Structure 1
Amino acid sequence: MPITPRDFQLYKLALSLFFLAVVNFAAHSKNNAALVIDGSTGVKPLIEVLAQHYLESASSPNIQIGQGLSPKKRIAALKNNKIDIAMASHGFDVSQLAQLNLRVHPFAKVAVVMGVNHTVKVDSISEQQLCATYSGAITNWQQLGGADIAIAPFIRPADEVDSEVFLAKVSCFAQLTLAKNVQIKKKSGQMARAIANERGAIGMTTLVRVSQSDNKIAPIGINGILPTTDNVLNNTYGLTRNLYLITSDKPKERVKSFLRFVRSQQGAEVIKANHAVPLIVNSSTRLTP
């Protein structure tokens, strides 16, 4: 049967509509592609709650947050487009990242604290008492004015940022020989769970983890100075670390949208609600961790 001019025009119209549908579907899929975030497990708790609030305000987003990557692996994943955003709090050099066409975005400061299990009723200890606890000279909370409960000490690896903060700011920690009962927790989440679940426990964590523990973890002061957000703001409490997000220097729109939320007033309120301090800096690539 011969094709008439009218049939040919209808065929062209149908073909055009088909290609338009394909283009629109591709654009829609691209705009709604998952935002993939991974990296430091110490940064993860705050990013998780920020992502939760972002999802409530953004239109049809999809965010995937990984289980953690080492400093080298997170940068490799970012460069290879396996992730969109890398979470970090240490282990990078800003100038080297700039050479890789990556940009650093600081967004919060958190207090690094000695968290204790809720069974421990001691508000503050001295640096010397803290070191004596980890060396094994002090083994019961009764020796520190608390209840008759054995101390269960936990620590992060020496090359993790929480340990680095204590090693740098608490002088006796640098020469410390750990007692045999001190258990090492490699990841931030493992540490928080151990403190929350072990009667008499003490360990390095952050005020964000404390705020999200349903009162199972309490922060303990050092030398009488409590790790409050006010004391972080006025530099009275000096055991702190910054939290960063690392992206391409030309991030995709879905990345820029999330960063705008994190650094917005609404994002700042979420950060403060989780006992951290918003850290908004315009020229982030000039900062050093």
Structure 2
Amino acid sequence: MKKIGQSTIIGIIFLGMCGCNSVKPTDLTNSNQVTNQADSQAQKIIKIGGSSSTVTVLKLLAQAYQSQNKTVKIEFISNSQSEGAIAALKNDIIDIAGSSHKLKPEEDNGKIQYRELAQDLLVVATHNSVKGVTNLSTKQLKSIYKGDITNWRELGGANADIVLLDRPEDESAKKLLRKYYLGEEKTTAKAVILNKEGELIETLQSTPNSLGAFSLASSLINKLPVNHLSLNGVAPKAQNFATGKYQMVRHIGILWEKSPSATTQGFIDFIFSEEGEKLLQNNGFVTAK
């Protein structure tokens, strides 16, 4: 009798322990739901990186898309050059890269793709303190960058020294200036070199008698209080670019993985939709054909 009693007690204890550690099907279901919800939320974050010249257009599109898709969060990684953004994309750090140049053969790993998004006119502008100067010839602009013309009085303006704001030689803005106006002439050592376009725009607005070149769309979107200069009598306007009169334009494209997440694909579809195209056109960009 003692043996039977002990066995019964041990069995009851064993069953109790099993009962405490057992997992009900409903517990598994709830656990899976929590996991799936977390995964779903993680998939709805889109990370974007790009050169400073591409951030304006991508933020414009991101803001419009997020206003329609409240569950999607678009994060912008710190700005870099196009090459850095493409490298980040290939290393799965970001989902979309903005670039001011097409995908180069040496950058292509076979897993990413490029598509041109828009064309952004480059405008030469001055601080709003500059009066009497609305147009520059190629010769005049070249002389400013060389340091041969140093005072606005030489161009019909007031007696004030020109403050030249410039970009590094490897930046798209400086490359375009050289291609269409400056040639290979050396830039004056007195030029103030600013690494990012945003820095140039801020400095131009806060520095009397300054001149610099940057995105026309950025100027229009942000309604910057600066003077846009015509070049050789041609105003920096989309219609003048369409007719071939104004040629200084920067090509903006995006890159993404060939098999993106559904969330990333949704944003890309919006970017190239009629709505996205109209948004860009209304803000000074020339949409890619």
Fold equivalence (TM over 0.5): yes
| Residues 50 and 267 in structure 1, CA contact (< 8 A), matched pair in contact too | yes
Aligned to 2:4: none
| Residues 120 and 252 in structure 2, CA contact (< 8 A), matched pair in contact too | yes
Distance 2:82 2:66 in 1: 27
Aligned to 1:102: 112
Aligned to 2:72: 61
Moved over 6 A (4+): none
Aligned to 1:199: 208
Rate the CA distance shift 1:12–1:129 in 2: closer, same or farther, 3 A.
same
TM-score, length of structure 1 as denominator length: 0.86
RMSD over aligned CA atoms reads: 2.2
Aligned to 1:20: 32
Aligned to 1:164: 175
Amino acid at match of 2:49: D
Q: Higher Cα Rg: structure 1 or 2?
A: 2
Aligned to 1:117: 127
Amino acid at match of 2:271: V
Distance 1:76 1:177 in 2: 31
Name whichever of 39-48 and 22-31 sits farther off.
22-31
How many residues are matched?
Answer: 273
Aligned to 1:287: none
Amino acid at match of 2:59: E
| Residues 225 and 237 in structure 1, CA contact (< 8 A), matched pair in contact too | yes
Amino acid at match of 1:116: T
Rate the CA distance shift 1:65–1:177 in 2: closer, same or farther, 3 A.
same
Distance 2:32 2:144 in 1: 69
Summarize deviations over 1:113-171 as a string: whole Å, max 9, x none: 2121122232211000011112222222222122333211111111111111111112x
Displacement of 1:78 in angstroms is 0.8
Distance 1:245 1:15 in 2: 44
Displacement of 1:231 in angstroms is 1.1
Aligned to 1:82: 93
| Residues 37 and 66 in structure 1, CA contact (< 8 A), matched pair in contact too | yes
| Residues 46 and 274 in structure 1, CA contact (< 8 A), matched pair in contact too | no
Rate the CA distance shift 1:84–1:256 in 2: closer, same or farther, 3 A.
same
Give SS of 1:175's match. Answer: coil
Aligned to 2:83: 72
Rate the CA distance shift 1:79–1:99 in 2: closer, same or farther, 3 A.
closer
Counterpart pick for 1:243 among 243, 252, 263: 252
Aligned to 2:160: 149
| Residues 126 and 212 in structure 2, CA contact (< 8 A), matched pair in contact too | yes
Report sequence identity in percent: 24
Gapped runs of 5+ residues in structure 1? 281-289
| Residues 115 and 210 in structure 1, CA contact (< 8 A), matched pair in contact too | no
Amino acid at match of 2:97: A
Amino acid at match of 1:203: G
Rate the CA distance shift 1:226–1:259 in 2: closer, same or farther, 3 A.
same
Aligned to 2:141: 130
Displacement of 1:30 in angstroms is 3.5
Give SS of 1:251's match. Answer: coil
Distance 1:234 1:212 in 2: 23
Gapped runs of 5+ residues in structure 2? 1-11
